[in-house]
Amino acid sequence: MGSSGDVLISLVDLLAAEVSPAPVVIDVGQLDRTDLRGTVVRPVALERVGRSRRGGAILDLELTLEVTTHGPEALATIERHFVTIEQSHLAARAESSFDRRPSGFDAAPALRLLVVAPVSVSLTEPRAPLVTQQPVVEVHFVTQLDGVLLDTENLPIAGAVVRLATTGVTSVSDKAGRFQLLTTTGARGPAPIEVTVRGHRYSTEVEPRPTEGTSTPGPAMVVLDPGDRRHESRSDMRAEA
């Protein structure tokens, strides 16, 4: 029956122990209401109050039960119910319900009270996967690859799309033929690039060399022949003056 059902059964057992031998029954819509006696407990609402943490994640609910007493001892019985609930360990509270009349009880006049009891439901929280091996961290240094695109007459090629083949990062050459790309391959070898210009594609590998007298890489001079329709190119690794 779940946590709410456990609270319902606990309340019924508590009330029954105080009014025995008078009956205390649960109504789930199957009672013959034409000749009721004793006490009837009927769940009417289960509402969310919030969430809390008490040894784990908890969903806090409130269960509202309607308690009705029938027969010649109805007044004395419901008074005892008020006292029992007031002193109970269920942290429930009893409230009058004169403005609420349950459907189906018109043939059997009754006295009524509402019992509101807290219900706690444990929630399962997602857990991080168990790590059984030490993590391996690979560090790749990111370097900037500067280059200049030239045609066979050493004139700059503007508007060419330069793509780093390993990562797909692209750049477009400016009026001076210059382009810039970020790469992680510079420390391990030349960087493969693809150049698309005027409908032709060229593949090459470029690796900037330090400018003379410094440790700073100079731009790679990439010379393309736009008139060559074959898939080829060559690169000149001279540092720009």
In a domain, 132, yes or no: no
pLDDT, position 211: 46
| Radius of gyration of the CA atoms of the chain, in A | 42
Model pLDDT, residue 133: 79
Could you tell me if 57 and 111 lie in one domain?
yes
Pair (219, 151) in one structural domain = yes
Distances (CA, A) of 238 to 171, 188, 210: 21, 20, 10
- Report yes or no: 145 and 89 within 8 Å, Cβ to Cβ: no
pTM score, two decimals?
0.48
Cis peptide before 208 (omega within 30 of 0): no
| pLDDT of amino acid 235 | 40
Instruction: Check residue 234 and give its pLDDT.
Output: 39
User: Into how many domains does the chain fold?
Assistant: 2
Give yes or no: residues 24 and 113 share one domain.
yes
Model pLDDT, residue 61: 92
57 & 157 share domain:
no
| Strands, E assignment, 5-110 | 24-26, 38-53, 57-70, 93-96
Using an 8 Å Cβ cutoff, are 157 and 177 in contact? yes
For residues 169 and 182, the answer to whether their CB atoms sit within 8 Å is: yes
**21 and 68 belong to one structural domain:** yes
Q: What is the CATH number of the domain that holds 177?
A: 2.60.40.1120
> Does residue 59 belong to any structural domain of this protein?
yes
* Domain of residue 73, CATH code: 3.30.2000.30
Please state, in angstroms and rounded to a whole number, the distance separating the CA atoms of residues 138 and 160: 33
Let me know if residue 130 belongs to a domain: no
**Helix, strand, coil tally for the chain in percent (to 5):** 15, 40, 50
Residue 129 lies in a domain: no
Question: Do the domain assignments include residue 134?
Answer: no
| Claim to verify: residue 224 and residue 181 sit in the same structural domain | yes
Within a domain: 136? no
Give the range of the structural domain holding residue 84, as residue numbers without chain letter.
2-122
Which residues in the chain show pLDDT less than 50? Answer: 99-107, 187, 211, 213-214, 229-241
Domain assignment present for 14 = yes
